[in-house]
Amino acid sequence: MIELTAEPMTWVMTGDSITQAVLHTHGARGWVEHVHERIRWQLDRLTDIVVNTGVSGWRARDVLGAYDHLIGRFEPDVLSISLGTNDARAGLAGLAEFEDSMRAIVARTGGARIVLHTPLVVSAAGRPARAELPSYCRVVREIAADTGALLVDHEAYWLARFGDADPIAWLDDDPAHPNAAGHRQMADHTLRSLGLGELTEL
């Protein structure tokens, strides 16, 4: 659970294109924008700052390499890290680099409350290219358990909803990118996991 302080807080959301939320939302809000709405408006934290530093196509090693630009300069109170979808294309051969990079990002962000997200479930069409995605999700869970980071387990949530079925209802016409409905599901699951409720309709 995120402990909200009386003083304004800085939230940094880093990740890949799913965090950046480009193209595949077709003009709708991405999940970070929904979380922003909940924090700064619905929870009446008007002077909190929510920064989205997601970069399309990036892997954990890329975020680590640009740490100061994407994370460090903002001195976050909360750091959300959502990576692994692009990393998983490297299969088992890339798993150690992913884990090392993720652990290094967490270790460098002393003093912040860390939030780790598992990657989403991809469509049936996207599974051959990301056959080891469940292994990357497992690594994220292990890092969260080892470091005390908060875990947002999107994989488990999506599997509970779809099972073995193709989760295309929450995806754009693409193997891995959520559509507007998928982003809303990501936002509400993230907010519930952090103890911040969920979006309320106006």
The structure tokens 């999700």 sit at: 137
pTM of the model: 0.96
Please check whether residue 157 lies inside any domain of the structure.
yes
Please check whether residue 114 lies inside any domain of the structure.
yes
| Statement: residue 133 has pLDDT above 80 | yes
| Statement: residue 201 has pLDDT above 80 | no
Domain residue limits at 112? 10-193
Q: How confident is the model at residue 135 (pLDDT cuts 50, 70, 90)?
A: very high
Please check whether residue 77 lies inside any domain of the structure.
yes
Please check whether residue 2 lies inside any domain of the structure.
no
Please check whether residue 198 lies inside any domain of the structure.
no
Please check whether residue 199 lies inside any domain of the structure.
no
The whole-number pLDDT of residue 131 equals: 96
121, 155 Cβ separation under 8 angstroms: yes
Q: What are the backbone angles phi and psi of residue 116, rounded to the nearest 5°? A: -110, 135
56-101 tens-digit pLDDT: 999 999 999 999 999 999 999 999 999 999 999 999 999 999 999 9
Alpha helix stretches (DSSP H) within the chain: 17-20, 31-36, 60-65, 67-70, 95-108, 133-147, 154-162, 180-193
Average pLDDT over residues 27-36: 96
Angle at 148 between CA 97 and CA 143, to 5 degrees: 20
CATH number of 80's domain: 3.40.50.1110
Q: How confident is the model at residue 193 (pLDDT cuts 50, 70, 90)?
A: very high
Please state the domain count of the chain. 1
Please check whether residue 5 lies inside any domain of the structure.
no
Mean pLDDT over all residues of the chain?
A: 96
120, 179 Cβ separation under 8 angstroms: no
Closest to 182 in 3D by CA, of 14, 26, 13, 5: 26
CA 16 from centroid of its chain's CA atoms: 8
